[in-house]
Amino acid sequence: MRVAFVGASHWHLPLYLDPALQIPGLVLAGVSDPDPAVSAALGQRLGCPDDRDYRELCRRERPDFVFALGRHADMAAQAEFLIGEGIPFALEKPCGLDSAELARIARLAAARRAFAAVPLVLRNGDFFRLLQDLAAEDGGVQHMAFRFIAGFAQRYLDAGCAWMLDPATAGGGCVLNLGPHFVDIVHALWGEAARPAATSLSNAAWGHPVEDYGALAFAGPGGALALVETGYLYPAPTSTFDLHFALRTPRHYLAVPDAETVEVTANDGARRRLRMHTTNVGQYPAFVRDVLERARRGQAPLADLDAMLPVMRLIEASYALAGPPPDRLAPTRAAVPA
């Protein structure tokens, strides 16, 4: 397969590119970034064509597949172009600035029967499947809590992605950036019964116009409650997190103390300790292999634009519950009705 990467200055590029380069027979069709210096440097380093205009690159090189990254503000336009050109693609989450953009490109993809994958990459791993299996076997989930705190906001400036700290180009802060993986779990386990119950946002740590800490509460069936806590607060390098996850079913308590450990304790005290990836980072190699194989075979992606839509709507509704923004925090977008 001939694969191209657009919006290549995105800090997630190595998470896609490195595993892709390990796939036998894969050829780099090209790289693109609005910054011509970034595009040219990557093209030279990787020995492949480059262009600052992804449209020109794709029309000239005709890749078999595109990984579309870049600014959130540009994602809907990227998707519209790729759908129109008939090029299968994976679009980095959150796939746009708001659910209106996302709904539009989802409708277009469905109408054209386009291959339009979304890297909700936890779905590619054992952890996501374990949660689904426990919920199915035990008769539901009574409580969920996900604490996922990443490194300082400065990392986006250091990576040349200052747009991530501007609501006009990013749409939101840590909630929109880190939260979708966990809101996707909440929706996967509770479906349409999940609804936002409370939200608190803060930019007290760094003072940028997007939140650097967010706490979301979701109500579920039977009075169940889920918490999703994200932030740019942990003094650690990229891909290292302060995390703790917990989930309660009628028969088990599941706890995740680190990025590779899951403890499942039954009501009688019997405990299983499992080793598996519990963060998004460890799932990208599996996602890259899976999405390219599905596209090659003409199969549907594991998660598409329609899968991202309820996640975006829950996040938007959560933003709307936050109330008046704290000092210096830019107003968030109002929820868009389903």
pLDDT at residue 76 tops 70: yes
By DSSP bridging, strand 2-6 and strand 143-151 are unpaired
d(CA 202, CA 204): 6
Nearest to 210 by CA among 170, 237, 241: 170
pLDDT of residue 66: 98
Residue at token pair 């997630």: 12
By DSSP bridging, strand 116-117 and strand 225-234 are unpaired
> Sorting pLDDT into bands at 50, 70 and 90, what band is 64?
very high
d(CA 122, CA 282): 9
Average pLDDT, the chain: 94
d(CA 192, CA 190): 6
- Beta strands, E only, 181-338: 195-202, 213-219, 225-234, 242-248, 252-258, 261-266, 271-275
Q: pTM, whole model, 2 decimals?
A: 0.94
pLDDT at residue 108 tops 80: yes
pLDDT for 292-333, tens place per residue?
A: 999 999 999 999 999 999 999 999 999 999 976 554 455 444
Residue 145, strand partner residues? 227, 246
d(CA 98, CA 323): 18
pLDDT of residue 325: 53
pLDDT of residue 136: 98
pLDDT for 240-287, tens place per residue?
A: 999 999 999 999 999 999 999 999 999 999 999 999 999 999 999 999
pLDDT at residue 291 tops 80: yes
What distances in angstroms separate CA 208 from CA 58, 154, 241, 314, one per listed residue?
A: 35, 10, 21, 23
DSSP 83-149: HHHT--EEE-TT-SSSHHHHHHHHHHHHHHT--EE---GGGGSHHHHHHHHHHHHHT--SEEEEEEE
Specify burial of residue 323 (Cβ count, 10 A radius: 0-12, 13-18, 19+).
Answer: exposed
Average pLDDT of the residues in 218-241: 95
What distances in angstroms separate CA 118 from CA 110, 171, 301, 310, 323, one per listed residue?
A: 14, 18, 8, 13, 30
